[in-house]
Amino acid sequence: MPLLLKSRLTLRFLSFVLFAAFSAQGIGLKAASAAILFEGWSKVLISGKHVGYVIQRYEFDEKKKEFRAVHFLKTNPESGGLNESLVARSTSAFKPVAYQYTSLADGKATLIDATFKGDKMTALVTEGKEKKTVTNNLPKGAFLSTFLGYVMLQGKDGLKKGIKYEYDGILEEAAIVAKGTAYISEEEVVAGIPVFRILNTVNGGKFVNLATHKAEILGTISPSAGIQTELVATLEEAVAGFGVNTSALTKLFGSMPKGKENEIARRSAMPPPTQKAAPATQTPQVPSLAPKAPASPTTAPAAQVAPQASPPTPPVPPSTATPAAKGN
């Protein structure tokens, strides 16, 4: 699988740039038009080396009753010089509305502009000077895969250890529908934050995601590709020396993303707690994103992920409330 697709699939849970293409189509968000559920900057690492960054935002538009996801990814020239962006919209019941995906890798550009009507997806795919139209009939309950985390959170079983979710996800970077399985194998603590370790298998790829009880992704791992993302507290830590175009990001997101609406950023802003010195013989434990040996999902109950029969109560930004898990 090409690095381009691996990088996108690694971010899939829940999860990039031809800004000229987006501007030409008028794509962008108005500042403060929706409640931000999650926003964070992440480092991208390949074989442990910092090679780029990702900025992600999830929000809910109360007026339109829509979820919206905006992502941007950049890696250095040695890692393919990827620039990718995604703007995706779904109803409050996670039925797909539309999405626009762009990528620029090694000088080759791809643009996918997809719309949905009933159970049919129509996508105009532009690769360089070539254009084609792709149509797909959607299985019942299919959703844009970038919203997987929130679909699981609001599913009948929510997020808890031992649950296996089977789903039909629309892979935005390929304009196809693929069956996937997300198995919650462990509940652990990373950087002092309780998280679920989720084993996600889709389109032939296997990935590990670390998600909080609010479905905030602290990190993702693709063991076979050696690609990893790690949520960090600040833009500076994620961007490092790779450069960031604030004007272009403002156009894409509707406002310059600060990346403060997440558990890592909130905790970093808190004063450090007073702690007693550890005994001299005690070795401090350092949290790791390294994948564990997966528990067998064969005995775990399966829950079919599907949009709600009726629209769920819109979640509000995690700084004021936790999105509630809803039953199917």
pLDDT classification of 305: cutoffs 50, 70, 90: low
Average pLDDT, the chain: 80
Give the pLDDT score at 143: 97
Query: Mind listing the pLDDT tens digit for each residue in 172-185?
Result: 999 999 999 999 99
Residues 6 or more apart whose Cβ sits within 8 Å of residue 59: 29, 34, 35, 36, 37, 67, 68, 69
Query: Mind listing the pLDDT tens digit for each residue in 182-229?
Result: 999 999 998 889 999 999 999 888 999 999 999 899 999 998 888 999
pLDDT classification of 292: cutoffs 50, 70, 90: low
Out of 30-44, 73-87, 157-171, 288-302, which region has the weakest mean confidence (pLDDT)? Answer: 288-302
Whether the CB-CB separation of 67 and 92 falls below 8 Å is answered with yes
Query: Mind listing the pLDDT tens digit for each residue in 69-98?
Result: 999 999 999 998 999 999 999 999 999 999
- pLDDT above 70: residue 284: no
pLDDT classification of 317: cutoffs 50, 70, 90: very low
- pLDDT above 60: residue 296: no
Give the pLDDT score at 133: 97
Give the pLDDT score at 169: 97
User: Rounded to an integer, what distance in angstroms lies between the CA atom of residue 138 and that of residue 172?
Assistant: 14
**Overall average pLDDT of the 296-324 stretch:** 45
User: Rounded to an integer, what distance in angstroms lies between the CA atom of residue 142 and that of residue 139?
Assistant: 6
Give the pLDDT score at 73: 97
Whether the CB-CB separation of 315 and 59 falls below 8 Å is answered with no
Give the pLDDT score at 303: 52
Whether the CB-CB separation of 71 and 56 falls below 8 Å is answered with yes
**Overall average pLDDT of the 251-266 stretch:** 95
User: Rounded to an integer, what distance in angstroms lies between the CA atom of residue 253 and that of residue 165?
Assistant: 30
Higher pLDDT, 64 or 302: 64
pLDDT classification of 304: cutoffs 50, 70, 90: low
- Phi and psi for 248 in degrees, rounded to 5? -65, -40
Give the pLDDT score at 66: 97
- pLDDT above 70: residue 26: no
Out of 191-195, 230-234, 277-281, which region has the weakest mean confidence (pLDDT)? Answer: 277-281
Query: Mind listing the pLDDT tens digit for each residue in 53-67?
Result: 999 999 999 999 999
Give the pLDDT score at 279: 55
Q: How many residues can be counted in the chain?
A: 328
pLDDT classification of 311: cutoffs 50, 70, 90: very low
Q: State the pTM of this model.
A: 0.76
Give the pLDDT score at 302: 52
Out of 73-77, 97-101, 251-255, 273-277, which region has the weakest mean confidence (pLDDT)? Answer: 273-277
3-state secondary structure of 191: coil
